[in-house]
Structure 1
Amino acid sequence: MPVMHFRVQWPDGTEANCYSPSTVVGEYFVAGQRYALDDFVERAREALHIGSERVREKYGFACSAAMDQLAQIEAQAERFASDAQAKVSIVELL
């Protein structure tokens, strides 16, 4: 199953490398695009759940790495939740 990595830049300028067990993340994000924080988290949630389910369909179990990645994204996003103008940039899709 092809995996995909995506690098994001958080509102404070820090960057993080993220993992998806499926290329479906490429349907939810565009490199160079900025997303409102809530929109970014929702897109990540949907893409990672779909990726995890694709793993379940193929191997019979969900992808724990996808759920771990989602937990990390949600924890990071929480740091900026009080800023209504917070945006997350997609640096690249790999």
Structure 2
Amino acid sequence: MPEIRFRIEWPDGAQELCYSPSLVVKDYFAPQQSYDLHDFLQRSTEALQIASDRVQAKYGMPCNLALGQIQKIQATAKRYQNVPEAKVKLLGFLEAAV
């Protein structure tokens, strides 16, 4: 399966490199696009769950890295839940070399 990483910027300017075991995240996000915090959480959770499910279908077990990434994103997002109009920006994708 092709892996991909995507760099995001949180509302305070902090950047994070996130992991997905599938390119499905490209169906949910566009480079240089900002998303409301709640929308970003929904999109990232759904995309990473689909990615984990694809790993499970292929290898018989879910992807712990994708599930862990969901948890990390959700935990970090809690810091910004009271920030008015909090947005998360998808800075870009870094595809793994084949």
TM range (shorter): over 0.9
SS at match of 1:79: helix
5 Å matches for 1:18-29?
18-29=18-29
TM-score normalised by length of structure 1: 0.98
Q: Within 5 A, what are the aligned runs for 1:1-94?
A: 1-94=1-94
Task: Kindly provide the CA deviation profile for residues 30-79 of structure 1, in whole angstroms up to 9, marking residues without a partner as x.
Answer: 00000000000100000000000000000000000001001000011000
1:12 and 1:26 map into 2 onto residues whose CA distance is 24
Question: 3-state DSSP class of the match of 1:34?
Answer: strand
Q: CA RMSD in A?
A: 0.5
Cα distance in 1 for residues equivalent to 2:4 and 2:51: 10
State the Cα distance separating 1:93 from its structure 2 match: 1.0
- 2:65, 2:84 → 1: CA distance? 29
In structure 2, what is the Cα distance between the partners aligned to 1:84 and 1:46? 24
Percent of residue pairs identical? 47
Q: Runs of 5+ in structure 1 lacking a partner?
A: none
Q: Distance in 2 between matches of 1:80 and 1:72?
A: 13
- In structure 2, give the amino acid aligned to 1:53: D
**TM-score, structure 2 normalization:** 0.94
Q: Residue 34 of structure 2 aligns to which amino acid in structure 1?
A: R
Q: CA deviation at 1:83?
A: 1.6
